[in-house]
Amino acid sequence: MAVDIKQQSSLGDQKDIQELSRKIGQFKSGEMHEERFRHYRLTRGVYGQRQLGVQMFRTKIPYGKVTSAQLKVIADLADKYGNKNLHITTRQNIQLHFVKLEDSPKIWTALADSGMTARGACGNTVRNITASPKAGIDPDEPFDVSPYAEHMFRYFLRHAVGQDMGRKIKIAFSSSEKDSAYTYFHDFGFIPRLRGNNGTTERGFKVVVGGGLGAQSLVAQTVSEFMPANEIIPFVEAALRVFDRHGERQKRQKARMKFLVKSLGLDGFLDLVNREMEGLDVREVEITEAAPAPQLPNLSNGSIVTISDDEAYQTWLDTNVFEQKQEGFFGVFIKVTLGNLTPETAFGLAELVKKTAADDIRFTVDQNLLIRFVSPQSLPILYRGLKQLDLADPGRASIADVTACPGTDTCALGVTNSTGLATTIQELVRDEFPDLVKEKDIEIKISGCMNSCGQHMAAAIGFHGSSIKKGLQVIPAMQVVLGGGVDPNTGIGGVADKVIKLPTKRIPEAIRVLLNDYHTNRQEDFFNHYYQRQGKPYFYDLLKHLGQSDAIDPSELFDWGQDSKYIQSIGVGECAGVSYDMVGAILGDAVEKIAEANESRSDGFLTEARYHAYTAMVIAAKAWLLSNDISCNTQIKIIEDFDEHAVVPGVFALDGSFKDLILQVRDAQEDPSVISKYVDVAKAFVHRVIKDRESELDGAKDKLVIGDYYKA
């Protein structure tokens, strides 16, 4: 492509930081309504915590890759502006907690200076693009997917189509057919494949769409068993346009891609995608750059380390270390309890990596770390260094490695405490089931609510926060789910079954019951085969005695890590779209979109300009409909309703229909004058709607629409 995406991203960060500072000032001075500011800041990585007055600041790190220098930058920011903790998420990001709003531009400035960003880390955007941490060194991979994940990340970072959707979009690249990136529960998933083509070998991907976890989990459907690599970005762009135009926006629980694909049917969805594909300016995106060669440390011949505990070292080698596809090198997983690192530990790790491995650190979807290109002579040096940092625990990705979201520690949506329970379970496994530490087939994942940030529905044993009422008392509880995850033999993923709800203080005993029964009844197969063979009713009967709430111990009224009785307190989550308060505020958004269209046109980004202009017209039409008490839930319905209620009756005169006018955005146009005219038409349309609205009000109070109709 002609556009230097990385350069555009750097300039975009500078602009975003300046704009964020300005918007914070407007919000604090009262010039900007809180709801509008929330919508703005979310797409810049600033997310309200459960605690009033502080924010969670989320980075956006494609496929979790950082250098040792970047890790130090994040550690320094956590020390200066956060609560001295780097939290690794299941999206391969880092979150900083307890950040002051006014400090967020300073954090972003430091990130941008080191090549990182926060744009699109939260909100209704294309979120961080994840990938198998082994990508590039995986012995099973047909090729390295890292450059494809990187390019897709940069392509959609500020792309007009991905900034104001009805809900978020999540994309994942697996390194092999084993699907270690969990593509099956993503909006878009890509698994690399090779095929012969006229005597050459062609790269491509198996492509899946419409997966997702949460209250209603759905497995993604296969779009193509082999899509040429140069077609995947145009396909995603066309599909995002369909999602943006046809996706639900009023009912938050139905606003994800998975529900659109399900409602249209896969064939119906793909018909719309193919129609949008016809209007793309770019039908192929060649990705030719390879991942950079690793920078390896220089080890002196005198670097010899003696290991005092051979058994512990061997367990660590067996569970955390694997041979790379590059002969003579090893990849090393570092188990990070609950994904939490102190700044001091992160600094120490960064220095250790520089001395023993390639300068390429990957955050993983199970909240751990992977370092790469460790030579055999460096392994004992690395192990000793990790021991000193308290990072040498064995059992990565085993039952002793529990994944958990922050839950009620910081999240407004949290129902129960995830982290306290996770710590208790890890201690139980370590003390009572040490033989399972080397087994990779039983993963435990915990979410503080049903939204699955801890990915509990993709676990062999999972839990999500809930509660049980007993008279006037409310008991903190966990929903037990079993049988989720990827089959290691086939690479096929599945979602877990809900089995039973138990008081959260009884979950450790439930773990004991499950593991003891597994030990007795397993047949040399992995946990999910045992679960499928026994069946869901078997496990309900196995655990139902723990669900009896007739005799509640007083301690069960307290959640894990809490010193007061449990009170269910669920705040308003900020993951989804938010409501605007006034029709006038909505029209203000249309004006901003016209400004973005003009700016993109001036900078030569005509495709972006055209889509911003399209969005501006949709927003203006939405404002007109809401001012006339006509509810809205999708963009396509707004377009059709504007014709029905405004154009056809002659209330709003146009040459032809609004639908024909606005959907010119789908037509392929390479003529800059045609695109420029479309922008000018959009500008005139928005200004006309505003003029009509001002005339209608004539000094009257603007119309309140918050919470009534259109949510995004």
Q: What is the pLDDT of residues 662-701, one digit of tens each?
A: 999 988 777 889 999 999 999 999 999 998 887 776 655 5
pLDDT band at residue 631 using 50, 70 and 90 as cut-offs: confident
CA gap 172, 658 in Å, rounded: 37
**What was the pLDDT predicted at 692?**
86
**What was the pLDDT predicted at 566?**
59
Residue 157: alpha-carbon gap to chain centroid: 14
- CATH architecture of structural domain 310-388: 2-Layer Sandwich (3.30)
**What was the pLDDT predicted at 581?**
45
CA gap 353, 361 in Å, rounded: 8
Residues 6+ away with beta carbon under 8 Å from 394: 312, 315, 316, 318, 319, 320, 335, 400, 437, 438
- CATH 3.30.413.10 range(s) for the chain read 137-290, 403-557
Contact at 8 Å (CB) between 612 and 586? Answer: no
- CATH 3.90.480.20 range(s) for the chain read 1-124
One-letter identity of residue 280: L
**CA proximity to 393, closest of 352, 353, 336:** 336
Per-residue DSSP letter, 589: H
pLDDT average, residue stretch 634-642: 95
CA gap 660, 642 in Å, rounded: 12
Query: Each residue of 17-60: pLDDT tens digit?
Result: 999 999 999 999 988 888 778 888 988 889 988 888 899 999 99
Position of tokens 């690192």? 341
- CATH 3.30.70.3340 range(s) for the chain read 310-388
Residue 245: alpha-carbon gap to chain centroid: 21
CA gap 76, 84 in Å, rounded: 9
Contact at 8 Å (CB) between 462 and 584? Answer: no
CA gap 594, 599 in Å, rounded: 9
CA gap 223, 209 in Å, rounded: 7
The pair of three-digit structure tokens given for residue 539, joined into one six-digit string: 């496990």
Chain mean pLDDT for the chain: 90
CA gap 92, 132 in Å, rounded: 10
pLDDT average, residue stretch 510-515: 97
Q: How far is CA 188 from CA 169, 205, 261, 639, 708, in A?
A: 8, 12, 12, 27, 31
The C-alpha angle 173, 156, 612, rounded to 5 degrees, equals 150
The pair of three-digit structure tokens given for residue 644, joined into one six-digit string: 């029905």
pLDDT band at residue 523 using 50, 70 and 90 as cut-offs: confident
The pair of three-digit structure tokens given for residue 205, joined into one six-digit string: 């991907």
Query: Each residue of 278-316: pLDDT tens digit?
Result: 888 888 899 877 777 888 887 665 567 778 888 999 999
pLDDT band at residue 559 using 50, 70 and 90 as cut-offs: confident
**CA proximity to 389, closest of 339, 430, 320, 342:** 342
Angle between the 635-642 and 232-246 helix axes, to the nearest 10 degrees?
A: 50
Residue ranges of the alpha helices (H) in 1-99? 5-29, 34-42, 68-81
Q: Length of the chain, please?
A: 712
**CA proximity to 206, closest of 1, 493, 483, 457:** 493
Contact at 8 Å (CB) between 73 and 114? Answer: yes
CA gap 610, 594 in Å, rounded: 10
Backbone φ and ψ for 199, nearest 5 degrees, come out as 85, 0
CA gap 374, 10 in Å, rounded: 32
Measure CA of the first residue to CA of the last residue in the chain; give whole Å.
32
CATH number of this structure's domain 1-124: 3.90.480.20
**What proportion of the chain, given as a percentage, has pLDDT over 90?**
68
CATH code 3.40.50.300 for 137-290:
no
Per-residue DSSP letter, 89: P
The pair of three-digit structure tokens given for residue 485, joined into one six-digit string: 């995850």
pTM: 0.92
CATH number of this structure's domain 583-697: 1.20.120
Helix (H) or strand (E) holding 65: strand 65-66
User: Where do the DSSP E strands lie in 315-434?
Assistant: 321-323, 330-334, 340-341, 361-363, 369-374, 403-404
Give every strand in the sheet of 340-341, ordered side by side: 46-48, 55-58, 94-99, 86-88, 340-341
CA gap 445, 410 in Å, rounded: 18
CA gap 710, 247 in Å, rounded: 12
Query: Each residue of 314-345: pLDDT tens digit?
Result: 999 999 999 999 999 999 999 999 999 999 99
HEC secondary structure over 286-316? CCCCCCCCCCCCCCCCCCCCCCCCHHHHHHH
Per-residue DSSP letter, 708: T
**What was the pLDDT predicted at 385?**
96
Query: Each residue of 106-152: pLDDT tens digit?
Result: 999 999 999 999 999 998 999 999 999 999 999 999 999 999 999 99
CATH number of this structure's domain 403-557: 3.30.413.10
pLDDT band at residue 573 using 50, 70 and 90 as cut-offs: low
Residue ranges of the alpha helices (H) in 287-404? 310-320, 343-356, 379-388
Contact at 8 Å (CB) between 632 and 709? Answer: yes
Helix (H) or strand (E) holding 231: none
User: Where do the DSSP E strands lie in 144-265?
Assistant: 169-173, 188-197, 200-209, 221-228
